[in-house]
Amino acid sequence: MREIILEVKDSEFECEVDQSFGVLVKATGDFGNTFHHRLYSVADLPSRINGNPKITMLVKRCSYIDDFNGEEYKGVASNYLCDRKKGDEITVTGPFQLPFRVPEDKTANMILIGMGTGIAPFRAFIKHIYKNVKDWEGKIRLFYGARSGLELLYLNDKDGDLTNYYDKDTFEAFHALSKRPHWADSIELEKALEEQTTELKELLSKSNTYVYVAGYANILNKLNTSFSKILGSEEKWKLRKAELIAGRKWAEIIF
């Protein structure tokens, strides 16, 4: 895991908490491409260094094993970024709009669910609400999944950013960890959600509740299973999710 801070040499470049930016890496692709483009969420509030825009990003070094030939392939952008040193130059693009928006209604409730580096957009999002929007009255519930306590980014430090909001009446965070991280067990997101069944059922019954999700593709299956149990049946959850989507109160970033 790497938290990387970038100083953008274009003083007019702006990337807000509800936006992402791209990283352009020289790489030869299967279809003759000469560049690899990867989008990243902003992981902190916008600021400036020496008068230039400052962007904070969160990157996890990735690789995967090919099911056919058994070979390991390294993630192009993640390994490129994790190998950068202080003072290195990279090419960024954007900004691009994220689907996560702060509701205009300060009494709105939000269920935020992030897996792994999916915590990045929510870190900036939550900081923005309590530092810039202020006077938030609705409930904000953050569910964050990680392989181990060491990966509870922004939550496991004594002065961690998100722990600063534990004294807020409206904010609470819940951790979902793998029982045996070295065995690659699945993160117990379902358990963390279902332990809060009473409150989540109440929040999902309200018309001003938003659900925002960021993480790997399998997070959607976990959520469908848990929310079906919480609401009492798969049919009830399908209906409620359809209502959230139709009302633009459901948003997701899947990577």
φ/ψ (deg, to 5) at 145: -105, 140
DSSP code of residue 206: S
Distance CA 21, CA 96 (A): 6
Residue 167: partners with Cβ closer than 8 Å, 6 or more residues away: none
What is the mean pLDDT of the segment spanning 206-230?
A: 91
Residue type at 190? E
What is the mean pLDDT of the segment spanning 108-133?
A: 86
Across 129-133, 158-162, 181-185, 251-255, least confident range: 181-185
Query: Do the Cβ atoms of 187 and 178 come closer than 8 Å?
Result: yes
pLDDT of residue 232: 95
Residue 182, token pair as written in the block: 């070295």
Reported as a single tens digit per residue, the pLDDT across 147-187 is 544 444 555 444 455 656 555 688 888 766 544 333 343 45
Distance CA 134, CA 168 (A): 11
CB atoms within 10 A of CB 75: 17
Residue 153: partners with Cβ closer than 8 Å, 6 or more residues away: 1, 3, 58, 117, 119, 123, 146
pLDDT of residue 17: 86
pLDDT of residue 114: 85
Distance CA 130, CA 107 (A): 13
At residue 228, does pLDDT exceed 60? Answer: yes
Distance CA 249, CA 103 (A): 9
**Residue tagged 């430090």 (tokens):** 157
pTM: 0.78
**Residue tagged 């807000």 (tokens):** 16
Separation in Å, CA 3 to CA 70, 153, 220:
30, 10, 26
pLDDT of residue 164: 61
Residue 252, token pair as written in the block: 């997701």
62 CB-contact burial (10 Å; exposed 0-12 / middle 13-18 / buried 19+): middle
Residue 137, token pair as written in the block: 């009255």
At residue 203, does pLDDT exceed 50? Answer: yes
| pLDDT confidence band for 72 (50 / 70 / 90) | confident
Phi-psi region of 224 (alpha: psi -120 to 50; beta: other; left: phi over 0): alpha
